[in-house]
Chain A
């Protein structure tokens, strides 16, 4: 499960002064075999602990809790993958990822509701099976357009202007975007909750004795398929290779004729689209309202911090680890502690393994 080329942490800093190059070299020496082994140990410990949590949750809350955790894990993985890609390719720590999720859920709501109303008057089995997917596709497209626009309008001018303190500036820009989007939505659509009870009006499936609503299963499958397709895209297609090349060495990629601007726009658009897709497919769980993105954002960032900024595969595994942690917290402490316990766990992990459990030797991207 190693996406060889794409070591997210391992980005050469595009720096006008060139000071950091020197020190980047220094950091690399640290990732000797010993540290690698230690990091792998941390990863294995985390996976074993997660399986332990899964078993405990299974006994305490029933098998359906385990399934719910797996489904949530798929979603966190999808969101965290988007974050990791943006971080790797563009060096942008995206705080507006939750708003992409929010946009997706709104689009899905506004597309699906008329379809649903139409179907209640003109029942059609085929359309009720396909209808939600129209919403998903529209959310994906809307997310892509939004992401591309943001990249063109915000990051592109900044990149042209100055690259000094890029990471922090870009982060603060995304904070601004996040506020504009969520409060703008609040202004236009109001703070109302817009949700649907379910996408597919069919009986829940029974898996290992647990009743699983079809919506959840579809959401999970959708997340898994998106992750696989995106991965295939990165690994096998020419454009995907170009994205990986940019994430490794922007100047080098430019030298061999890759259109950096295009790659940046495409990456941001795709990552935003994936987040919007997640929002759309989870509309039955997360009703659409202006700040719905906060929790997904929190957990996606949590995953990225937890696994370190090293690799995308780590983000996928990390999604499940975080989901089980979250489910266990809900199970034993109550849903109100969902924000607290994971942070405490995170503090502990960062003390033991500061670059994350799957971290590469490089401690995250360089600043300045």
Chain B
């Protein structure tokens, strides 16, 4: 007999949803209609939260699984953003007026970014974790430099204003688009990491040589991982361009942007994918509140990111996701199998 309930449960767990996850999603979906959140100003924070959460998932796919922190993440995202912005351009400020639909632009931006990730994956293939991170950082700085140095097409540091994704100025549709992006990225990532690919990623991340010795092909998996993560970043970049409608190399592609994502992903819990989502929303609200409450202290949120990151790294490397997992295991098994602190 067709066991609908169990099948559904199976499908949900494969795509990475627990009961709490479903409830959270439903709450998130109706949130834009509940009074304090239906205000346009606060809706914008929600969009930013969903955007950051999606970024954190895409970032965690690389950092949490193959243990390579992609320090050029923001730059690759910016590459997607600029590609999409230039391809959809219709105004005479830059010499290219292709005027594609922003949706197509986002997709092409994702593909270009994915290609950049593919190259980056190959480039850093022979480097161990940390040197791959540094190399990705160099590539990110180079991309930033290139974008800044071709003002004819990107308007450089002057900033460039791409077309909007939608006609409307309301934030609500954008919120649902961001949530959709977040969901798609999360589900695709989850399906991949729960397949044999995820196992291979983890093996490569934990012990590169041992994984290779047991027949895991590092080229295939690392390059695939980089490509996919960068593709997501590129799509998100396109969304950024057509939602915020303002691009400057420094505001999008700078290393500090990568660190912001990194902080959220790691405080959320590396290798969990959903930890970053959980942390991103409260964080955005906290930071925006901080910004409006203490405008005289610019950059305070970066310091808080730094302090939190250090604290999490020293005292609880598994982050919030690890904490929740530990509480669950603690309740159900009374700590018979204490989880390891190694973050694996």
Tell me if chain B binds chain A: yes
Which A positions have Cβ atoms within 8 angstroms of B? Answer: 19-20, 23, 26, 93, 154, 157-158, 161-162, 164-165, 167-169, 171-173, 175-180, 183-184, 186-187, 191, 298, 301-302, 305, 309, 336-340, 343-344, 346-347, 350-351, 354, 363-368
A179 touches B259 (CB 8 A): yes
Quick one: given A19-B207, A336-B149, A367-B208, are A176 and B306 in contact (CB under 8 Å)?
yes
* Assembled-state Cα–Cα distance A245/B344 (Å): 31
A176 touches B134 (CB 8 A): no
Of A19, A168, A364, the contact of B69 (CB 8 Å cutoff) = A168
B127 touches A183 (CB 8 A): no
* Assembled-state Cα–Cα distance A158/B309 (Å): 13
A180 touches B207 (CB 8 A): no
B residues 194-237 near A (Cβ < 8 Å) are 206-210, 213
Q: Which residues of A contact B135 (CB under 8 A)?
A: 305, 346, 350
B299 interface residue per 8 A CB criterion: yes
Q: Which residues of A contact B131 (CB under 8 A)?
A: 305, 309, 364
A350 touches B303 (CB 8 A): no
* Assembled-state Cα–Cα distance A343/B143 (Å): 10
Number of A-B residue pairs at CB separation under 8 A: 153
Which B positions have Cβ atoms within 8 angstroms of A? Answer: 67, 69, 123, 126-131, 133-135, 137-139, 141-142, 144-146, 148-149, 206-210, 213, 256, 259, 262-263, 266, 297-300, 302-303, 305-307, 309-310, 313-315, 317, 340-344
* Assembled-state Cα–Cα distance A187/B295 (Å): 11
Main secondary structure of the interface of A (DSSP, over half): helix
User: Separation in Å of the B44 CB from the closest CB of chain A?
Assistant: 24
User: Separation in Å of the B251 CB from the closest CB of chain A?
Assistant: 15
Of A157, A178, A183, A301, the contact of B134 (CB 8 Å cutoff) = A301
B67 touches A168 (CB 8 A): yes
B303 to chain A: closest residue by CB: A183
B305 to chain A: closest residue by CB: A179
B317 touches A344 (CB 8 A): no
A selection of 12 A-B contacts at a CB cut-off of 8 Å is: A93-B130, A169-B317, A172-B313, A305-B135, A309-B131, A343-B139, A346-B135, A354-B127, A363-B127, A364-B127, A365-B130, A368-B207
With A183-B299, A336-B149 already in contact, 17 other A-B pairs whose C-beta atoms are closer than 8 Å: A161-B314, A164-B342, A168-B133, A171-B133, A172-B69, A172-B262, A175-B259, A175-B262, A176-B305, A176-B306, A177-B310, A305-B134, A337-B149, A339-B142, A340-B146, A343-B141, A364-B130
Main secondary structure of the interface of B (DSSP, over half): helix
User: Separation in Å of the B74 CB from the closest CB of chain A?
Assistant: 13
User: Separation in Å of the A347 CB from the closest CB of chain B?
Assistant: 6
* Assembled-state Cα–Cα distance A154/B314 (Å): 8
A177 touches B306 (CB 8 A): yes
Of B129, B141, B266, B302, the contact of A339 (CB 8 Å cutoff) = B141
B145 touches A337 (CB 8 A): yes
Quick one: given A26-B209, A368-B206, are A187 and B139 in contact (CB under 8 Å)?
no
User: Separation in Å of the A301 CB from the closest CB of chain B?
Assistant: 6
A178 to chain B: closest residue by CB: B306
Of B127, B148, B213, B309, the contact of A175 (CB 8 Å cutoff) = B309
* Assembled-state Cα–Cα distance A23/B128 (Å): 14
User: Separation in Å of the B126 CB from the closest CB of chain A?
Assistant: 4
B297 to chain A: closest residue by CB: A187
Q: Which residues of A contact B266 (CB under 8 A)?
A: 172
A305 touches B138 (CB 8 A): yes
* Assembled-state Cα–Cα distance A179/B123 (Å): 27
The winner among B259, B306, B307, B341 for most chain A CB atoms within 10 A is B306
Q: Which residues of B contact A338 (CB under 8 A)?
A: 145
B128 touches A363 (CB 8 A): yes
* Assembled-state Cα–Cα distance A171/B141 (Å): 18
User: Separation in Å of the A82 CB from the closest CB of chain B?
Assistant: 16
* Assembled-state Cα–Cα distance A367/B341 (Å): 16
Q: Which residues of B contact A337 (CB under 8 A)?
A: 145, 149
Q: Which residues of B contact A367 (CB under 8 A)?
A: 67, 128-130, 207-208
Q: Which residues of A contact B307 (CB under 8 A)?
A: 176, 180
A366 touches B133 (CB 8 A): no
Q: Which residues of B contact A171 (CB under 8 A)?
A: 69, 130, 133
A183 touches B306 (CB 8 A): yes
Quick one: given A179-B303, A367-B130, are A165 and B142 in contact (CB under 8 Å)?
no
B341 touches A172 (CB 8 A): no
